Structure formats: structure tokens, C-alpha cells
Amino acid sequence: MSSAFDEPASFTPEGISHRGVRADPSEIALLRGTMRRWLADLPLDDDRRQDILLASYEALANAVEHAYAPSDPDATLDFEATYHRAEGQLHVRVSDHGVWHDAQDDESRRSRGHGLTLIRNLTTDMVVEREPGGTVVDMRWSLDEKGTSDVV
């Protein structure tokens, strides 16, 4: 199992790809930083950049929290973000290899559970595919030539 930065990863103007990243809060924080740097180089307005960063991080956090039992040493996730300038599309995919479970319940979590709704509201399109081998969250943004989205 790797850290987000131990293994070679693809990071180009067209996209980011990290595979087999430990499903751990510190690792997804590193991915968020990488995503922030990548998005800074794209022709996007600041609001759209923040929406993409927030939705992506929420999908990563959901994978860490819901796909694996706490302290599972084999918990990994995959992260891919691509920008298709010609089509005006930005696509982010977060995949885990676990089995969905509810997060541990305690009083501090009573107001939680709105992650997928948040993602849905920040994206042009979002699809969640749950399969025996894990869950995939696909997020897409349709962007105009100014880097803004058609999300209303």
C-alpha cells in the first residue's frame, strides 16, 4: 500500500491519476493539495475551482469513512481527474475497493450524512456505482469558455 506520493503518479495539464492510495485522512489531504495545485493551472474561475475541490474531497472522505472498517490495513482508493479542454468537460473519479458500511455512530455525527447531496449540487452530473468490488463516484462538470459551470 502506498502513500499518495510514494508511488509514481500521473500529473499533467490534462489530469491527475493516483492508484492504490491508502484510505486514510492524511493521504486524502495530500490528494486535496495536489488537486488544488492542478486546478490552479486550469482556466477556471475561483468559484468553480472551489466547487470541484470540495466535491472531490467529499467523495474521497466518503470512501475513507464508508468503504472500510476503521484501521483496515488493506484500505486503498484510486483517484483520477481529467480536463478535456476541447469538450469543455472536467471529470473526477474516486474508486474504493471496499464494502459500504455506515460510519460509526456517535452524537457528533448526528448532523452529518449529506455528502452525496453536496456533491450532486456542486457538479453538472454525478453517478455512484456500487458493486461487490467497491464503489465508484463519477463527477462531471460542463464548463463554458470562461471556466464557469452550467450548474445552477
Give the pLDDT of residue 33: 93
Q: What is the DSSP string of 129-147?
A: EEETTEEEEEEEEEB-TTS
% pLDDT > 70, the chain: 80
The predicted structure's pLDDT at residue 151: 53
Name the average pLDDT for the chain: 85
Is residue 110 one of the residues assigned to a domain?
A: yes
Looking at the 3D structure of the chain, how many domains does it have?
A: 1
Look up the pTM and report it: 0.84
The residue range of the domain holding 93 is 10-142
Kindly report, residue by residue over 106-126, the tens digit of the pLDDT. Answer: 454 444 567 889 999 999 999
Other C-beta atoms within 10 Å of 88: how many?
Answer: 15
Q: Which residues of 119-137 are buried (b: 16+ CB within 10 A; e: fewer)?
A: bbebbeebeeeeeeebbbb
Q: What is the pLDDT of residues 36-73, one digit of tens each?
A: 999 999 999 999 999 999 999 999 999 998 888 877 88
pLDDT score, position 141: 97
Average of per-residue pLDDT across 142-150: 66
Residue 5 inside a domain? The answer is no
pLDDT confidence of residue 7:
47
Coil, strand or helix at 73: coil
**Which secondary structure element, helix H or strand E, spans residue 68, and what is its range?**
none
How many Å apart are CA 125 and CA 122, to the nearest integer? 9
Which CATH number is 122's domain given?
3.30.565.10
